[in-house]
Amino acid sequence: MNLSAQDHQTFFTCDTDFLRPSDTVMQKAWRERNPPARIKAAYQALELNNDCATAYVLLAEEEATTIVDAERLFKQALKAGETIYKRSQQCQHQSPQHEAQLRRDTNVLVYIKRRLAMCARKLGRIREAVKIMRDLMKEFPPLTMLNIHENLLESLLELQAYADVQAVLAKYDDISLPKSAAICYTAALLKTRTVSDKFSPETASRRGLSTAEISAVEAIHRAVEFNPHVPKYLLEMKSLILPPEHILKRGDSEAVAYAFFHLQHWKRIEGALNLLQCTWEGTFRMIPYPLEKGHLFYPYPSCTETADRELLPTFHHVSVYPKKELPFFIHFTAGLCSSTAMIALLTHQFPEIMGVFAKAVSMISRTCIEYL
């Protein structure tokens, strides 16, 4: 609730809310922690102004019980939001306050359209959802913080429009742009798709990997380095839960959210999960000390576990970065060297006692051997 309140206040409020009585009421509503009080405040705002878009948004997200009801309220919000947005556009150059109003009204309009796209996706109208998202990205390109392109990737995968998915990745999978599990694993899925149906571990071990297979494996390693928790959910080694409202990049919460929506796309491509299962653990051999030094990304942040425990339900076993296990002979050698050093130190400090101890051990060993 705290994170949601922060998001709502960031997107839906500004310093000039006091100029609109309905916005003043909604500013208090977004800060309210009691859901019934928030809903009551939204209705109060609508009584003051029937075109209060943010009030419809709150009702759609917190009072609607079905996606159909939510979509109906979001359509009302869209009608009101477009009216307010056009009015703000006309006044934006009058003062800095009007510019702030325009930014807020832009955020509200984009948020509503994105939610309508998600409603259409959930109701099976996927092409309609894709069109809304494409129009949003074309009309408001700077607003990448809403990750509309990630929703677009998932919808295009559902349509199996892989060429369009590649086109979106070509634009957003850029070294200068923020990464996510959706981007990295979708890129890996597309490269896996070209080779997975014919991939066999036995054949690959005999003849070696082809150029396309090497490219697919490298893409998987890149994705696993970014978020190492995803493969266990895709391979169903860990049970899935409903994704949380907020996620942490590179954390278990992001892995849960990605796998929840994208597992079906991996299952649809023959052999994709088999290739992932055969290759994903090789990433950890490439990065022996991931918390200190990364390969393609910054070192894995050690603070993700604490944050994920706050975002995910208490019954969920939070995944942590796999620790590199040392071979047995290293443990054995370390123990042998430590024991030898300890015996040498004791012999130097207490030569007489250690001499008696050595004779006793020798006699016991001789007796055991003779008995056998």
Read off the DSSP letter of residue 208. -
Spatial contact of 292 and 299, defined as CB atoms under 8 Å apart: yes
Integer Cα distance of 153 and 112 in angstroms: 19
Read off the DSSP letter of residue 141. T
CA proximity to 304, closest of 227, 221, 220, 234: 227
Return the HEC string of 217-266.
HHHHHHHHHHCCCHHHHHCCCCCCCCCCCCCCCCCHHHHHHHHHHHHHHH
CB contact set of 207 (below 8 Å; sequence gap of 6+): none
Integer Cα distance of 106 and 88 in angstroms: 9
Integer Cα distance of 264 and 89 in angstroms: 42
pLDDT of residue 203: 78
CA proximity to 214, closest of 279, 266, 277, 288: 279
Q: Which two tokens stand for residue 89?
A: 């556009």
Spatial contact of 152 and 137, defined as CB atoms under 8 Å apart: yes
Spatial contact of 133 and 155, defined as CB atoms under 8 Å apart: yes
- Full-model pTM: 0.78
Distances, alpha carbon 161 to alpha carbons 190, 192, 327, 344, in Å: 11, 15, 45, 70
CB atoms within 10 A of CB 36: 10
pLDDT of residue 178: 80
CA proximity to 7, closest of 146, 152, 178: 146
Spatial contact of 287 and 225, defined as CB atoms under 8 Å apart: yes
Integer Cα distance of 181 and 249 in angstroms: 8
User: Which phi and psi angles does 168 have, rounded to 5°?
Assistant: -65, -40
Q: Which two tokens stand for residue 68?
A: 């159909």
Q: Which two tokens stand for residue 333?
A: 């050698």
Half-sphere exposure at residue 358, Cβ-oriented, CA atoms within 13 angstroms? 10
First vs last Cα of the chain: how many Å apart? 72
pLDDT values of the chain reduced to their tens digit, one per residue, 372 residues: 455 667 667 777 776 666 678 878 888 888 888 888 889 988 998 888 888 888 898 899 888 899 999 999 999 999 988 888 887 777 766 777 767 778 888 888 888 999 999 999 999 999 999 999 999 888 887 666 678 888 999 999 999 999 999 999 988 887 777 888 999 999 999 999 988 888 777 777 777 778 888 898 889 999 998 898 999 999 998 888 998 888 888 889 999 999 999 999 999 999 889 888 888 877 777 665 555 555 667 777 777 888 888 888 888 888 876 655 555 666 667 777 888 888 777 777 777 777 777 777 778 777 777 776
pLDDT of residue 126: 92
Instruction: Give Cα 23 distance to the centre of its chain.
Output: 33
